[in-house]
Chains A and B, each alone.
Chain A
């Protein structure tokens, strides 16, 4: 097992290097001079020149990359040109928010997806198969920003049950926090629920299509609960792996959902920073999320390794 761990850790380093190069390249190669964007309405040439020097914009790309990586290795992710806050501080502020959203979305996805998958696999061909299928697929088929706006109009403006926006820290006021997060978490969790449903269903079906089960059903007997539980346990192993994989989707989906619900997490920060050419912020935030994602995947692989001895070849 330590062999495996060591091998996996060895692959993380080059991956992270590629991630840093990818996101750095994507940002710095964007058209439009950030000095102009950040110089505001007045476009004072002195300010523009000053910003160009400060951001090393006149130096070649590899040199700028060097500056950035050097800073990162020292723990300095740079600072937001727009608001002057250190990127690390922004990350510390916003990571918990997006994480909370991701975790809540994951829970909702599990609560919807797994039972739907079970129901669908057991009642194959019957109406509740289609119903469960339909409900889970609905989440995957609707653009989450559109769903978000519709939900705000229904639940906040029309019914007044939930706040339209306004994140409150759970340490300050748990109820208000949950009230503000439930809609965006639902919107995000919906899509993942469909994926989980599919997995649960196919894993369940593998067990349920075994000969003895088919015989029982052919005889008209209903499938005993113990068999369902056994199938479910079979399905849970890949769920761990899938969970880690979906974290990336959650971050991606969070981008627009946070925008619509005004949740001050990473997603909103990244989008605004791309449009404002606030390079350091995008680079820093993506590096952090990519690292988290990679580590989560590693953790998930190790977990399934431990859980399922058959994977140890």
Chain B
């Protein structure tokens, strides 16, 4: 055998592993997702997986604008009580079933009616869906609801195959059948989720991988170690303290994306009688003093290694709906002390319920130290997550470190938290006028009009300080530099369309 012939035979063998490798995308997640059923799903990390598995009616872009996905266009009726949506005609589910208007109707009804569905509240104002024809549906609303589009750009807009859903019932999540770029192959709990390319995907030209494997690795250090060791191509939620070194080494790319959620401290205003027993819950001046004693920039620096943006509202200062008239207050110890003196409590003491996560613990410690200078005596009570949820729900707390992952429409960061008796209203804030304003913000469709309403809401709720917003964290991703097409979307979810390994 001549050398040339040997080489010609050998070369493809050498390339083969490279070719095979380039076709699988390995993603490291920070948690094991819960059930893979868009109606029952309840975790943030599950949405990352859904990005490969299930297409939605709409999606959002980097500016949080609504863009079409399974839908092609939409049109509001003049009175805002119905929304007509035109659908793509070339979409097929993973099991071969056709996606059409009837499928949309089925899915919306499933989201609303399946026992245990977490989408019920999101689609509450939708009274029904009319199928006009195979590519047109009309959503009928009991009252105008502008956040609807944003809901349909998330899990409430995910479309599953009606045939599979009917067959599996509530066990659908163990064998999901959707219409996304990848189809479900297998899931080993806490080990991996494997998806393979769906050949009939409507946008198949944008998909350059044959397989996607999601691996949950809870420990951030170990997750990063896996990336560095070459076992993963992409990881989410890199620890802020690792970013500096990563960027200096220049071996991996790092993405910093300001989240649409926030980190804050929730204060018990009226959720239970406990609120009135404590000066913090009782007196708005004490709460104002508390906020003035905080140095948000210092918090961001120490707690998040500068991987966050200071904020004081439910949306970040770069968001179009941020109320510029109420900027982030600067630290003012003198004024804080004066307020406390005026309120007659120079050394208020309260317990801060803190989850056991590393960030929350650091945050609590720094807040404790910062506010001590104004005379506050903050006692840190570390509580396991499950227990803390219970405590908050029953109002058995004085202050609580609580973050929110955020929703595309500001209503998602607002309504559940300040509406009277809403499930996430842990402060126990209740005001009929605010409720009316919240309802108005939902009916108005013009962004300018909504902004004015949000300004009014801000003026009312921010001075009560039921939630002291601290900062907006950065989603930190690290990935193989050969990976191109990574889009930095503010919801922190990686989109697989357009991703490829540069050759």
Contact = CB atoms under 8 A, between A and B. Distances in A.
B424 interface: yes
B443 interface: no
B191 interface: yes
A44 B32 CA distance: 22
Interface in A201-238: none
A12 interface: no
Contact of B118 (A37, A42, A163): A42
A126 interface: no
A3 B393 CA distance: 58
Contacts of A76: none
Contacts of A85: 174, 189
Contacts of A276: 386
Interface stretch (A16-24, A134-142, A153-161, A295-303): A153-161
A31 B387 contact: yes
A64 interface: no
Contact of A157 (B170, B174, B188, B228): B228
B188 A93 contact: yes
B118 A47 contact: yes
A44 B119 CA distance: 9
A182 B218 CA distance: 21
A259 B31 CA distance: 12
Contact of B43 (A41, A50, A157, A264): A41
A262 to B, nearest CB: 5
Contact of A36 (B117, B189, B389, B416): B389
A117 B34 CA distance: 48
A50 B40 CA distance: 12
Interface stretch (B2-10, B219-227, B263-271, B331-339): B219-227
Interface string A143-176: 0000001001100110010011111000000000
B116 A47 contact: yes
Contact of B191 (A167, A275, A277): A167
Contact of A83 (B189, B225, B386): B189
Nearest to B118: A42
A39 B387 contact: no
B346 to A, nearest CB: 35
Contacts of B217: 165, 262
A36 B389 CA distance: 7
Interface string A3-41: 000000000000000000000000000111110111111
A240 interface: no
Given A50-B115, A156-B225, A84 B231 contact: no
Interface string A247-287: 00000000000011110100011001001110000000000
Interface string A88-103: 0010011000000000
A54 B116 CA distance: 10
Contacts of B118: 39-40, 42, 44, 47
B173 A41 contact: no
B116 A50 contact: yes
B interface majority secondary structure: loop
A47 B389 contact: no
A94 B189 CA distance: 9
A51 B116 contact: yes
A209 B484 CA distance: 72
Interface string B409-443: 00000001000000110000000000000000000
A90 B189 CA distance: 8
Nearest to A145: B219
Given A42-B121, A264-B191, A275-B385, A152 B225 contact: yes
A259 B225 CA distance: 14
B171 interface: yes
B42 interface: yes
A81 to B, nearest CB: 9
Given A156-B229, A166-B215, A269-B189, A84 B174 contact: yes
The contact size tier of chain B is 35 or more
Contacts of B416: 42
B42 A39 contact: yes
A37 B229 contact: no
Contacts of B388: 32
Given A31-B390, A41-B42, A42-B42, A153 B225 contact: yes
Interface string A176-205: 000000000000000000000000000000
Given A164-B231, A272-B32, A259 B219 contact: yes
Contact of A93 (B171, B189, B222, B386): B189
A275 B384 CA distance: 8
B306 interface: no
A157 B120 CA distance: 46
Nearest to A37: B386
Contact of A260 (B32, B44, B219): B219
Nearest to B218: A259
A164 B393 CA distance: 40
B173 A30 contact: no
A46 B111 CA distance: 13
B185 to A, nearest CB: 14
B173 A157 contact: no
Contacts of A269: 189-190
A41 B405 contact: yes
A71 interface: no
B499 interface: no
B384 A32 contact: yes
A264 B189 contact: yes
Contacts of A41: 42-44, 404-405
Nearest to B35: A84
A160 B251 CA distance: 15
A165 B226 contact: yes
B35 A32 contact: no
Interface in B218-259: 218-219, 221-222, 225-226, 228-231
Contact of A152 (B189, B222, B230): B222
A47 B117 contact: yes
A93 to B, nearest CB: 6
Nearest to A166: B231
A262 B174 contact: no
A29 B221 CA distance: 33
26 contacts: A31-B390, A39-B42, A40-B34, A40-B41, A40-B118, A41-B404, A42-B122, A43-B423, A44-B118, A82-B34, A85-B189, A93-B189, A94-B189, A152-B221, A153-B225, A156-B226, A160-B229, A164-B226, A165-B222, A166-B226, A167-B191, A260-B219, A262-B218, A262-B219, A275-B384, A277-B386
Interface of B: 32, 34-35, 37, 41-44, 115-118, 120-122, 170-171, 173-174, 188-191, 215-219, 221-222, 225-226, 228-231, 384-390, 393, 404-405, 416, 423-424
| Shortest 8 CB-CB contacts between residues of A and residues of B | A40-B42, A32-B386, A264-B191, A32-B387, A43-B423, A164-B225, A37-B386, A36-B389
